[in-house]
Amino acid sequence: MPAPTSPADLFRRSLRLLLDKDIPAWIALWAEDGVMEFPFAPDGWPRRLEGKEAVAAYMRHYPDHIDLHDFPELRIHRTTDPQTVVVEMRGVGRLVESDAPFDMTYIAVVTVRDGHFTSYRDYWNPLAVQESGADFTGSSR
């Protein structure tokens, strides 16, 4: 039986998979009933995804729109709950459609149980999705 994965280790692995554009492996890190939330999502964008399948549908076309190159700034903070971390990070790359630079700062509150993401609250900058080519979600905006 493999050793339990710490929330910080699982999060680092998830970033590596995003850089590798391995969305199926990224989705495999999720619990079946995992929830992903976007408290700052603009109108027309999803604010809550319930379940692994909903997260998979949301992320399926991500690499076709955003080509991530690096997470040059990553800070993972432990909390009083050993299964929850707060992450500060910056993702850089390019928007595939326009070849424009992509540079976003995020804060995420992530909870892991039994080696899988169960809760992921992503506090990203909604102004960034105003760029042409940033909408990979099929939003209604």
pLDDT at 101 over 60: yes
Mean pLDDT of 20-39: 97
Question: Which tokens go with 2?
Answer: 């493999």
Mean pLDDT of 105-110: 96
Is 56 a domain residue?
A: yes
What is the per-residue pLDDT across 70-86, written as a single tens digit (0 to 9) for each? Answer: 999 999 999 999 999 99
pLDDT at 4 over 70: no
Which residues lie below 8 Å from residue 127, measured CB to CB, with a gap of 6+?
A: none
Number of domains in the chain: 1
Is 138 a domain residue?
A: no
Cβ-based neighbour number of residue 98 at 10 Å: 12
Question: Which tokens go with 91?
Answer: 């993702």
Is 55 a domain residue?
A: yes
Q: Identify the domain containing residue 22 by its residue range.
A: 7-131
- pTM of the shown model: 0.86
Residue 30 sits at φ, ψ, to 5 deg, of -95, 145
Mean pLDDT, all residues of the chain: 89
Question: Please, what is the Cα angle at 81 between 39 and 126, to 5 degrees?
Answer: 15
Is 106 a domain residue?
A: yes
Is 108 a domain residue?
A: yes
Please tell me what DSSP assigns to residue 56.
Answer: H
Mean pLDDT of 46-63: 96
Say which CATH number the domain at 127 has: 3.10.450.50
